[in-house]
């Protein structure tokens, strides 16, 4: 049986000539103490190199859509030009009428394009505000927090309901020292009334979907109504929080909401209210159509909560995020709620 040898703890001074570092590369004399330094860790997390972010899009895809859009635009332009020439060949007044219609079309197209670009820029501004606010809270960055607060006050000038809130917040800008506290103060003043109205909008849409899908005779009508309600709900929430989405903005916003749902766990199978409906057998006590209406209302409510988090210009830091039970608690009949309460007891 082999005997294990244990080295006793020793005390020595670093300036002792008998102490040799392993990194020196020189041979150690007999009896010397060899010290192997521990690897030096970065002082902060910021010193750790981060991986490069993935590319946002394919260059070939961008080139494809650019070329296709250019060809379609040139084709439409040539067709309109040939039409006006043919009108002038028939009669001068027809040619001038065609020119007037073409001018009206171009003017309306430019205005619509400008509105779409403004809507996309506004959505990008809201996303940038949310990112800057999150950074200011994590790093306690006072200058960035003040810049976020001032931009929020500027955005709130178009909302009469926030007149008193933005006036009080503007008076406290020079009194708050910490950046995180300033962002939280702005959230309490500006976001609290908007969050209450957004919660009411989501709750109303969920109840409306639940009732309509419960009495609708066909699944196609249910699908169409749920889609229209979801798009309208996302647009109203974006307008409430300061966004001005057009058609392209709505497409981008809807894609962000779906992506947010995918990241946060799909349709929230772990939410307590859905577990009450599915896991505790409440749906079995309801009729088939009423059960479908309840589930559709719950899914609409979950979509609305995701839309609130996407369109809100500030993260939920000082105020609690609305839960599914806050917006969908009225979907279940009172009799079923009483039975569920008795079953829990």
* Residue 289 CB neighbour total at 10 angstroms: 14
Question: What is the secondary structure of 81-125 as a DSSP string?
Answer: HHHHHHHHHH-HHHHHHHHHHHHHHHHHHHHHHHHHHHHHHHHHH
Contacts of 332 (CB under 8 A, 6+ apart): 276, 277, 282, 294
**CB-CB contact of 298 with 324 (8 Å):** yes
Distance between the two ends of the chain, CA-based, in angstroms? 65
| Residue reference for tokens 């010290």 | 35
**CB-CB contact of 20 with 26 (8 Å):** yes
Residue 77 CA to residue 69 CA, distance in Å, equals: 12
- Nearest alpha carbon to residue 296 among 209, 234, 219: 209
SS (H, E, C) 155-175: HHHHCHHHHHHHHHHHHCCCC
Phi and psi for 33 in degrees, rounded to 5?
-95, 120
Residue 277 CA to residue 294 CA, distance in Å, equals: 8
Task: Please report which residue ranges of 286-333 form alpha helices under DSSP H.
Answer: 288-311, 324-328
**CB-CB contact of 302 with 279 (8 Å):** no
- Nearest alpha carbon to residue 248 among 139, 162, 332, 124: 124
**CB-CB contact of 246 with 300 (8 Å):** no
Per-residue pLDDT of the chain (345 residues; tens, 9 = 90+): 444 445 566 666 666 666 666 655 556 666 666 666 655 544 444 444 444 444 455 678 888 888 988 899 899 889 988 988 888 888 889 889 989 998 998 899 899 888 888 888 888 888 888 888 888 888 888 888 888 888 888 888 877 888 888 888 887 777 777 888 888 888 888 888 888 899 999 888 888 888 887 777 777 777 888 888 888 888 898 888 888 887 777 888 888 787 776 665 544 444 444 544 544 444 444 555 566 777 778 888 888 888 888 888 888 888 888 887 777 766 655 444 454 455 545
Domain regions of the chain by residue span: 194-344
Residue 292 CA to residue 286 CA, distance in Å, equals: 9
Residue 188 CA to residue 176 CA, distance in Å, equals: 14
pLDDT computed for residue 280 by the predictor: 45
Residue 268 CA to residue 291 CA, distance in Å, equals: 18
**CB-CB contact of 300 with 308 (8 Å):** no
Query: Which DSSP symbol is given to 36?
Result: -
**CB-CB contact of 314 with 260 (8 Å):** no
Question: What is the secondary structure of 236-264 as a DSSP string?
Answer: HHHHHTT----HHHHHHHHHHHHHHHHHT
Residue 340 CA to residue 283 CA, distance in Å, equals: 11
């Amino acid at each position: 049986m082999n005997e294990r040898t244990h080295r006793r703890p020793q005390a020595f001074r670093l300036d002792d000539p008998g102490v040799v570092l392993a990194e020196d590369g020189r041979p150690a004399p007999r009896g010397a103490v060899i010290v192997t330094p521990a690897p030096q860790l970065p002082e902060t997390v910021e010193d750790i190199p981060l991986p490069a972010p993935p590319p946002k899009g394919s260059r070939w895809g961008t080139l494809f859509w650019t070329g296709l859009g250019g060809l379609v635009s040139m084709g439409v332009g040539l067709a309109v030009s040939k039409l006006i020439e043919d009108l002038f060949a028939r009669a001068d007044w027809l040619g001038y009428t065609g020119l007037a219609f073409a001018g009206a079309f171009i003017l309306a197209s430019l205005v619509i394009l400008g509105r779409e670009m403004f809507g996309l820029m506004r959505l990008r501004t809201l996303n940038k505000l949310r990112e800057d606010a999150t950074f200011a809270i994590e790093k306690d960055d006072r200058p960035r927090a003040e810049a976020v607060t001032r931009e929020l006050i500027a955005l709130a000038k178009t909302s009469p309901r926030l007149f008193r809130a933005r006036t009080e917040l503007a008076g406290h800008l020079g009194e708050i020292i910490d950046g995180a506290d300033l962002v939280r103060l702005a959230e309490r003043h500006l976001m609290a009334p908007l969050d209450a109205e957004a919660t009411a909008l989501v709750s109303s849409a969920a109840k409306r979907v639940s009732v309509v899908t419960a009495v609708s005779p066909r699944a196609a009508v249910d699908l169409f109504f749920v889609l229209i309600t979801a798009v309208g709900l996302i647009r109203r929430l974006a307008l409430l929080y300061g966004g001005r989405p057009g058609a392209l903005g709505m497409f981008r916003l809807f894609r962000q909401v779906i992506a947010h749902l995918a990241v946060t766990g799909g349709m929230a199978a772990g939410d307590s209210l859905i577990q009450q409906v599915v896991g505790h057998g409440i749906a079995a006590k309801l009729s088939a159509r009423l059960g479908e209406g309840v589930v559709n209302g719950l899914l609409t409510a979950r979509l609305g909560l995701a839309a609130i988090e996407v369109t809100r210009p500030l993260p939920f830091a000082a105020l609690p995020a609305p839960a599914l039970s806050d917006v969908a608690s009225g979907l279940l009949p009172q009799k079923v709620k009483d039975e569920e309460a008795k079953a829990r007891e």
